[in-house]
């Protein structure tokens, strides 16, 4: 997601503000971005520069047209959400009077209403972003005090945001605020810093302060003042950063994968954000496919590879159940070579984190040639697959750096569920209150993922203990089956251990022959409160393999005491609706793989032979 840097220093104008901010942006590059920009406060007012593409483009622009000496600066790397990654949409955004500059990380959900309000009052908006409204609102609210203006505006915003602002009249001040999105203060000598994480300023100071939820911070060269949205002063919490600069880029985690596993509550929450209207109805504005076309769809084919295909397999259960439309899930590289039956009534859903996977892109092209409507579920803005599709539903997982996909998987399932519910709403296969209930359950998922993360000690312990095992099997049933395959894929990819995922019901048709004394087997157990006695069938499976010597590692719902007699280890996850359970059950499997690979001393983020985005067929 977007990187944010702020700096205020000595009041003799110089080049340091720009240098600090550009250095910070370079350290935040790992987050992934598609444009970058800076704004400086100079004795002659605000100046700014911004460019689409990599930081090098902005550097070249600054070489071509150097900016004057300054006393304060803000800088931004943007991961596009609203509006394409262009120069115009890059941050900072300036108010119409050019007196306020703003940068933003997050999504302002009510920006459509705020835009309309500004337009009606005669303000001309120059970008497609949700952020620009904040610059205009701040300019209107400004009455000689930027902090008060920020408090006033922040209270009007819905969604998630970290915002930094500077004003031409306040050359010694940078103001920041946050709601559900991080912002950290760096404390210097005669200068102070702000960053979306400490990587932004770790080269200058390790003394930091965390900003709490719904607080506003005002930085001058010699002071840091924090207030809540009502203006009440807040006692700051100071700490010393003990990471080195490279670890800080991973937010203090040992690997990007570990960090991204911990990002998952946000990945799901952000993917849900902004997709409901005030009446609680799903509004997927991005899906610009005629509703009449979607009403007459008689088949859905999900095309994807690897983890994204497993996300599709999870979604199949839900979409068929909610929409009563047959859903096929096809590995993208198999799809076009088997002469698939595709026509104008087929909706092809292409799922991809990178949006660049060549196999998936080729499947998209083939489907469109056959007359299908193609909808992409993609994480990376500006990538090829959404460009070549009829519609796109973006996941908002943020940049995924580790080769092994984790948070994108959860975000893909979430987005596919939104699509399923949207189709159910459109086609009337579910009552509005049933859809609302599922959405309520979905909204509880981020907190429940956090509970799984907080209770991960025993999984980590088991992983270290098993670091030398030659093979691990994974069993699941119903939505637990693709979860089992995903768990196996994670272990293969990063720990180089032979691993296989099976449908638990298939066990006695062959795979049970693999069970011998000590063979570790993960079993994903369905909820005991679910339908169709699936739970008791899987508990029987555990007994069958345990009787043959397997070491059983059971992922079960909190309070499921039936599994205890047959589990060598049990990892409980919170209770949720059966169809949503994969969003929780997969997390211990991800942690197991990550921890085991680390215990083996392997490069968790860059496993051998693999690339993050596979752009060849």
Contacts with ligand F6R by CB under 6 A lie at 305-308, 352-354, 357, 360, 404-405, 489, 493, 613-614
Q: In this complex, which beta carbon is closest to ligand F6R, that of residue 241 or of residue 361?
A: 361
Q: Residue 495 CB, nearest distance to ligand F6R (Å)?
A: 12
Q: In this complex, which beta carbon is closest to ligand F6R, that of residue 489 or of residue 534?
A: 489
Residue that is written with structure tokens 């003799």 in the block? 12
Is 612 labeled as catalytic in the residue annotation?
A: yes
Q: Residue 135 CB, nearest distance to ligand F6R (Å)?
A: 34
- Listed in order, strand segments (DSSP E) in 20-99 are 35-42, 45-52, 72-78, 93-94
Q: Residue 309 CB, nearest distance to ligand F6R (Å)?
A: 7
**Measured CA distances, 579 to 310, 315, 318, 576 (Å):** 14, 9, 6, 8
3-state SS, residue 246? helix
**How far is Cα 195 from Cα 7, in angstroms, rounded to an integer?**
9
**How far is Cα 294 from Cα 296, in angstroms, rounded to an integer?**
5
Q: Residue 411 CB, nearest distance to ligand F6R (Å)?
A: 11
Q: In this complex, which beta carbon is closest to ligand F6R, that of residue 75 or of residue 399?
A: 399
Please give the full DSSP string across 381-411, using - where no structure is assigned: TT-HHHHHSSEEEE-------SSS-SHHHHH
Q: In this complex, which beta carbon is closest to ligand F6R, that of residue 390 or of residue 605?
A: 605
Helix, strand, coil tally for the chain in percent (to 5): 40, 25, 35
**How far is Cα 611 from Cα 594, in angstroms, rounded to an integer?**
17
Q: Residue 582 CB, nearest distance to ligand F6R (Å)?
A: 15
Q: In this complex, which beta carbon is closest to ligand F6R, that of residue 270 or of residue 560?
A: 270
Please give the full DSSP string across 581-612, using - where no structure is assigned: THHHHHHHHHHHHHHHHHHTT--SSS-TT--S
Q: Residue 22 CB, nearest distance to ligand F6R (Å)?
A: 30
Q: Residue 330: which of 345, 354, 308 has the closest Cα?
A: 308
Q: In this complex, which beta carbon is closest to ligand F6R, that of residue 264 or of residue 405?
A: 405
**How far is Cα 521 from Cα 515, in angstroms, rounded to an integer?**
9
Please identify which of the residues 54, 467, 600, 612 carries the catalytic annotation: 612
Q: Residue 490 CB, nearest distance to ligand F6R (Å)?
A: 6
Contacts of residue 439, defined as CB under 8 A and 6 or more positions apart, other chains included, come to 272, 276, 280, 282, 421
Sort strands 3-8 and 569-573 into parallel, antiparallel or unpaired.
unpaired
3-state SS, residue 343? coil
Q: In this complex, which beta carbon is closest to ligand F6R, that of residue 114 or of residue 305?
A: 305
Helices 16-27 and 55-64: angle between axes, nearest 10 degrees: 160
Is the distance from CB of 103 to CB of 164 less than 8 angstroms? yes
Is 316 labeled as catalytic in the residue annotation?
A: no
Please identify which of the residues 2, 305, 323, 594 carries the catalytic annotation: 2
Catalytically active residues, by annotation:
2, 612
């Amino acid at each position: 997601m977007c990187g944010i840097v702020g700096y205020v220093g000595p009041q003799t104008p110089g080049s340091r503000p720009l240098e600090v901010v550009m250095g910070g942006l370079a350290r935040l590059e790992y987050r992934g971005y598609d444009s970058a920009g800076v704004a400086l406060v100079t004795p002659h007012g605000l100046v700014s520069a911004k460019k689409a593409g990599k930081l090098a483009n902005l550097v070249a622009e600054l070489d071509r047209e150097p900016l004057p000496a300054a006393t304060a600066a803000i800088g931004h790397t943007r991961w596009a959400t609203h509006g394409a990654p262009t120069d115009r949409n890059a941050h900072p955004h300036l108010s119409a009077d050019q007196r306020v500059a703003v940068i933003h990380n997050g999504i302002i959900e009510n920006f459509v209403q705020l835009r309309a309000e500004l337009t009606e009052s005669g303000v001309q908006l120059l970008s497609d972003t949700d952020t620009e409204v904040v610059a205009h609102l701040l300019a209107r609210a400004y009455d000689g005090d930027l902090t008060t203006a920020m408090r006033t505006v922040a209270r009007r915003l819905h969604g998630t945001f970290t915002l930094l602002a500077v004003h031409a009249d306040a050359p010694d001040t940078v103001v920041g605020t946050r709601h559900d999105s991080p912002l950290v203060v760096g404390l210097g000598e005669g200068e102070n810093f702000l960053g979306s994480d400490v990587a932004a300023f770790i080269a200058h100071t390790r003394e930091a302060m965390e900003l709490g939820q719904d607080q506003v911070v005002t930085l001058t060269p010699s002071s840091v003042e924090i207030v809540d949205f009502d203006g009440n002063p807040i006692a700051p919490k100071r700490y010393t950063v003990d990471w080195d600069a490279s670890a800080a880029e991973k937010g203090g985690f040992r690997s990007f994968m570990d960090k991204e596993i911990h990002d998952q509550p946000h990945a799901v929450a952000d993917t849900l954000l902004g997709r409901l209207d005030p009446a609680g109805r799903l509004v997927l504005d991005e899906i610009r496919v005629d509703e009449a076309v979607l009403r007459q769809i008689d088949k859905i084919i999900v095309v994807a590879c690897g983890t994204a295909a497993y996300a599709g397999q999870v979604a199949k259960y839900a979409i068929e159940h909610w929409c009563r439309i047959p859903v096929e899930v096809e590995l993208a590289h198999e799809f076009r070579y088997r002469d698939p039956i595709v026509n104008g009534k087929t909706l092809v859903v292409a799922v991809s984190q990178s949006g660049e996977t060549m196999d998936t892109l080729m499947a998209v092209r083939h489907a469109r040639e056959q007359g299908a409507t193609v909808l992409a579920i993609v994480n990376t803005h500006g990538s090829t697959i959404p460009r070549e599709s009829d519609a796109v539903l973006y996941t908002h997982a943020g940049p995924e750096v580790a080769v092994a996909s984790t948070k994108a998987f959860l975000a893909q399932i979430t987005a596919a569920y939104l699509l399923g519910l949207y189709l159910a709403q459109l086609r009337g296969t579910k009552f509005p209150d049933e859809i609302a209930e599922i959405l309520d359950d979905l909204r509880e998922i981020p907190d429940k993922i956090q509970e799984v993360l907080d209770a991960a000690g025993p999984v980590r312990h088991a992983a270290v203990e098993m670091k030398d095992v030659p093979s691990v099997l994974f069993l699941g049933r119903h939505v637990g089956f693709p979860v089992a395959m995903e768990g196996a894929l994670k272990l293969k990819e990063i720990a180089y251990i032979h691993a296989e995922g099976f449908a638990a019901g298939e066990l006695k048709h062959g795979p049970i022959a693999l069970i011998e004394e000590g063979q570790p087997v993960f079993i994903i157990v369905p909820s005991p409160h679910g339908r169709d006695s699936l739970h008791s069938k899987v508990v029987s499976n555990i007994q069958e393999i345990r009787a043959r010597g397997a070491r059983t590692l059971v992922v079960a719902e909190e309070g499921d005491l039936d599994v205890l007699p047959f589990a060598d280890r049990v990892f409980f996850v919170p209770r949720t609706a059966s169809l949503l359970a994969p969003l929780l059950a997969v997390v211990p499997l991800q942690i197991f793989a990550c921890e085991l690979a680390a215990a083996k001393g392997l490069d968790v983020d860059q496993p051998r032979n693999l690339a993050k985005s596979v752009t060849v067929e």
